[in-house]
Structure 1
Amino acid sequence: MKLVPLTDRVVLKQCEAEETTKSGIILASAAQEKPQEAMVIAVGPGGIVDGKEITMQVKEGQKVIYSKYSGTEVKLEGEEYIIVRQNDILAVVE
């Protein structure tokens, strides 16, 4: 099964949470902060959204940073994904 986003939606797979701090302290799973970095899995075609032409700026395989409380979490075949609007993506990590 494959997720195919519509219009200006982007499917993201969240990167793993840091398990240790920079100083080497191991974090319990409850203390780990949910990362805002993710890999782009699929990109919608763009098009007209709210009367404006939307051109997609991200591509599959890019690593991005997205807004903390954005998107919809979905689970498909045991994998967790986040579906966000393109304008919820803040930056591309190069």
Structure 2
Amino acid sequence: MAKRLIPTLNRVLVEKIVPPTKTPAGILLPEKSTKLNSGKVVAVGPGSYDKAGNVIPVGVKEGDNVLLPEYGGTQVFLGDKEYHLFRDEDILGTLHD
């Protein structure tokens, strides 16, 4: 049975996207071209609360591709997969095609 992690408050569970290091033709790509630190949102918490007790919702949703800071987040292993937990305000933005 696989475990599922539901983040608390304004935390976001992200699976980092590992860019390819070479093209389908076998050409190695320079490290700078594969440096984009991005991930896919797997789960989000319900949000944080303001002083009046109102819920402030999380700014991203499951399935969003997001830009992540170079450092930060908490590494989590569920089964054989690696994930990272970030606070909503630490996520730099969403990526769209």
CA gap 1:57/1:74 in 2 versus in 1, 3 angstroms? same
Partner in structure 2 of residue 48 of structure 1: 49
Structure showing greater Rg? 2
Distance in 1 (CA, whole Å) between partners of 2:35 and 2:46 is 28
CA distance in 2, matches of 1:5, 1:85: 10
Please give the per-residue CA displacement for 1:52-93, whole angstroms capped at 9, x wherever unaligned. 853211000010001110100111100000000001110101
Name the structure 2 match of 1:39: 40
Root-mean-square deviation over aligned CA pairs: 2.6
Q: TM-score, normalised by structure 2?
A: 0.77
Deviating 4+ runs (over 4 angstroms):
31-35
Aligned to 2:10: 8
Cα distance between partner residues in 2 of 1:2 and 1:34: 29
Structure 2 counterpart of 1:71: 73
The alpha-carbon deviation at position 48 of structure 1 amounts to 1.6
Gaps of 5+ in 2: none
In terms of fraction of residues, the more strand-rich structure is 1
| Structure 1 residue runs without a partner (length 5+) | none
Q: Give the count of matched residue pairs.
A: 89
Match of 1:82?
84
Shift of residue 36 of structure 1?
Answer: 1.2
The question of whether the paired residues in 2 share the 8 Å contact of 1:14 and 1:35 is answered with no
Distance 1:17 1:39, change over 3 A: same
